[in-house]
A and B are shown apart, each in its own frame.
Chain A
Amino acid sequence: MIKVGMADLNICSSPDAITTLGLGSCVGIILYDPILKIAGLAHIMLPDSTQIRSNENVAKFADTGIETLLKQLIQKGAQRSRMIAKIAGGAQMFAFSAENAMLSIGKKNVIATKKKLSELGIRIIAEDTGDSYGRTIEFYPETGQLLIKAVGKEPKII
């Protein structure tokens, strides 16, 4: 199992699997070529690299993270036209008051992720986003299944 940390990304081929632990307001993005059975996972923290001065780490942002992940998959022979996406995370972990900008960072991350994927013409075929709990996700390129685990909930597959 390949482990991806916060503000990090990696790729993985069947029969291996790829995971990220304890997604909170961050979003986990799976890009997957079902014919080649190769997938990439990005664990992004922030919506937009153009809004932030310190943006050297491309894996930190939805826009640059998705672009980089796509590039790496194409280098491995994946076809952009076959690429599909599954996304999870973007929770609101603390009930902050309305005037606090952190209120909707999870939501903003999800919106930015969808916008970037739509710009690139990549279809999201499954998602488990929002709400107020953390998620651990595992993706299996062999089957295309994304397993989602959360505290006090039954694991689910999307």
Chain B
Amino acid sequence: MSSKGTFESLKNDDVQYDILREIGNIGAGNATTALAQLINSKIDMTVPKVELLTFPELADVVGSAEKLVVGILINLSGDIDGMMMFMLDYSAAHYLVNCIIGKEKENMEAFTEMDFSALKEIGNIIAGAYLSALSALMNLKIIESIPYMAIDMAGAVLSVPAIAFGELGDRALLIQSEFGQSDNNVKGFFILIPTEESYGKIMSSLGV
């Protein structure tokens, strides 16, 4: 295997980082548009962060390991192996569900079964928008699992991808985009974590 497209080669290569940021931009751009359409409201996103992280660093990527979040996880297979995580602040998840189901916007009562399935479906639509943009860009086939959901501390939720990647190495590549509204009602992250092998495939599909 050529040195390009390995995590080792990524360390000091700004070009590869730029490409990954652009991938994050395209995926998250499409996903943010889908999310904005769902709730019929404008949503902004930040420039994606690309980081090669060790596991002690991973739990803090969304701020604090103890922050209460709703995490929707999708396993990826096909040409790209890895995971996609759609992570919402707890209050943002409530706001989204309220918008979609038509409850009072400020309603913060415990989630119902119907809320759960709405959240999973939101995750499905958003992650699908993210991944279909990537798939078209790279001309690679990405197969998505059904969405799995957990509501807990960010560190505990992130332990699941961490363990999956811990079997393969001591670092994980995160392409992370933050989105939000100016009034802070909706706030969260898209996180794409490809395996190292898939990272190589992404790079070579783009001719790097």
* A associates with B: yes
Residues of A within 8 A of B (CB): 5-8, 21-26, 45-46, 52, 54, 56-57, 60, 91, 93-96, 100, 102, 105, 132-136, 151
Distance in Å: Cβ of A36 to nearest Cβ of chain B: 27
Which chain A residues border B58 with CB–CB below 8 Å?
A: 6
Distance in Å: Cβ of B158 to nearest Cβ of chain A: 7
Which chain A residue lies CB-closest to B170?
A: A57
Verify A6–B160 contact, CB threshold 8 A: no
B152, B164, B166, B167: which contacts A134 (Cβ < 8 A)?
A: B152
Q: Is the interface of B mostly helix, strand, loop or mixed?
A: mixed
Does B56 count as interface, using CB distance less than 8 angstroms? yes
A95 to B120, CA, bound (A): 13
Verify B153–A22 contact, CB threshold 8 A: yes
Interface size on B, residues (CB 8 A): 33
Verify B157–A5 contact, CB threshold 8 A: no
Verify B156–A93 contact, CB threshold 8 A: yes
Residue among A24, A45, A91 with max Cβ neighbours from chain B (10 Å):
A24
Which chain A residues border B150 with CB–CB below 8 Å?
A: 93-94, 132
Interface string of B80-121 (1 = CB under 8 A from A): 000000000000000000000000000000000000000000
Q: A7-B55, A22-B155, A23-B156 are in contact. Are A136 and B66 (CB under 8 A)?
A: yes
Distance in Å: Cβ of A141 to nearest Cβ of chain B: 22
Does B57 count as interface, using CB distance less than 8 angstroms? yes
A57 to B171, CA, bound (A): 11
Q: A25-B160, A56-B170 are in contact. Are A6 and B155 (CB under 8 A)?
A: yes
Distance in Å: Cβ of A109 to nearest Cβ of chain B: 8
Does B140 count as interface, using CB distance less than 8 angstroms? no
User: Can you show 20 pairs from A to B with CB atoms below 8 A apart?
Assistant: A5-B59, A6-B55, A6-B159, A6-B162, A8-B55, A22-B66, A22-B152, A22-B158, A24-B156, A24-B160, A26-B159, A45-B159, A45-B166, A52-B166, A60-B55, A93-B150, A93-B156, A133-B156, A135-B156, A151-B151
